[in-house]
Amino acid sequence: MKWMREFLSYISIIVFVVVIRSYVITPVRVNGLSMYPNLTDGQLLLLEKIDRRYKRFDIVVIDYEEEGKKEKIIKRIIGLPGEHISYKNNTLYVNNQKIEESFIDTKTSDIDISSLGSYTVPENTYFVLGDNRPVSKDSRYIGFIDKQDIDGKAIFSLFPLNEFGTIWPKYESIVQYRSFKGVSTLKVYRTSLILTSMLFIYLISLFTLIKPMFKKNDIIVLKSKKTDAKIISSTITEKKNIILETKGKGEIKTVFDGLTLEQLTLKLDKNLNSTLKGKGYLFASYSTSLGLDPYLAVAIVLEETGCKWNCSSMVNKCYNIGGLKGSPSCAGTSYRSYNSLDEGIKGFMDILYYNYYAKGLTTPEAINPIYAESSSWSSGVRNYITQIKNS
């Protein structure tokens, strides 16, 4: 019977997908900014589970549990079993030999793994770090990672499309990537062909399964064509109009003050003008990923720069949005210069969070004595917070 054939075909597809996802290859989504800028929040990757021969700088997904809460975290392998790992003057040393890390542009504080209770990385464990060293919670805080807790290795980026391709390091050939002692070149290419074919069938089967799941009056989440923010669609009126990312039936996720990410983005954008116009999404997404009050962050920026109307020259020339001091110098002054506006925004929020917010200084009044000389600074920031909330 026709319905029976269709039923069996769906069952076979489901079984195939389950087997592939459990033992061969599976999609994973990056959550957070600990691997920025090489991997970004929301990026969709493919995780390979067959090859358990992990190498230095492989990006791996780890099953991590803290206080009874299980989650998957993504980090980069730095130290292999039996190696002594240390960082001095922002440089990686493996067994006292200098190793270059060309994939990061953030500073790594001095560390020696002896502080973790072992002079070398223990057997069947790894020392892992996130690429965004100032933000990442990794082996420096949670210790060595057992091999059995590694779910697999990230090998390919599917989305966004501008990141489509193999994950760094990009190997010169499939032989270089797959070759290891005792495996011939022919077997290497055959393995590659099999994996590629399985990936293709897997993606096709996913599309076949997902497409019929949407019915009239289902509630879904779509991405806006105009911004990176997501918008909520109350119902589906026609299947052909489903065009972008779905997040599940009826799921509406709030990120701050009872607002969804897109609602928070729009609220912040109403208060950002001049050079910072349209940067609401960056403020909203990055601040909430840190656990920072986005109203407070934007209010301080407005007080420091005047970007409610016209941004100061420090913002326009040096991308310094918080009146931050340091090097490299901004036009010979004591204020810091950044390479880009996005870098300046993230740098400001990093400093605000780690130097103030994480230390319990979470209000303008508490921050004022350290951040600004003027005693009226906090009232100005407080007024901007009120304006942002009411916008």
| Assigned token pair, 43 | 């990026």
Answer whether 63's CB lies under 8 Å from 149's CB.
yes
Residues 128, 202: Cα–Cα separation, whole Å: 30
Answer whether 121's CB lies under 8 Å from 113's CB.
yes
Residues 275, 312: Cα–Cα separation, whole Å: 9
From 74, 174, 87, 175, select the one nearest 132 (Cα to Cα): 74
| Assigned token pair, 107 | 């500073």
Long-range (24+ apart) CB contacts under 8 A made by 288-294 are 288/255, 288/256, 288/261, 288/264, 289/32, 289/33, 289/41, 290/135, 290/349, 290/350, 290/353, 290/357, 291/353, 291/357, 292/349, 292/352, 292/353, 292/357, 293/256, 293/357, 293/362, 294/256, 294/264, 294/268
Angle between helices 280-290 and 341-355 (to 10 degrees): 30
Spatial CB neighbours of 24, under 8 Å, sequence gap ≥ 6: 48, 49, 50, 195, 198
From 63, 180, 82, 73, select the one nearest 124 (Cα to Cα): 82
From 109, 107, 147, select the one nearest 127 (Cα to Cα): 147
Residues 188, 10: Cα–Cα separation, whole Å: 32
Residue 140 φ then ψ, to 5°? -65, -25
Is residue 34 annotated as a catalytic residue, yes or no? yes
Pick the catalytic residue: 22, 75, 225, 374?
Answer: 75
Spatial CB neighbours of 237, under 8 Å, sequence gap ≥ 6: 216
Residues 136, 40: Cα–Cα separation, whole Å: 13
Is residue 267 annotated as a catalytic residue, yes or no? no
Cis peptide before 37 (omega within 30 of 0): yes
DSSP secondary structure code for residue 244 in this structure: S
Pick the catalytic residue: 34, 285, 337, 378?
Answer: 34
Cis peptide before 27 (omega within 30 of 0): no
- Known catalytic residues are 34, 75
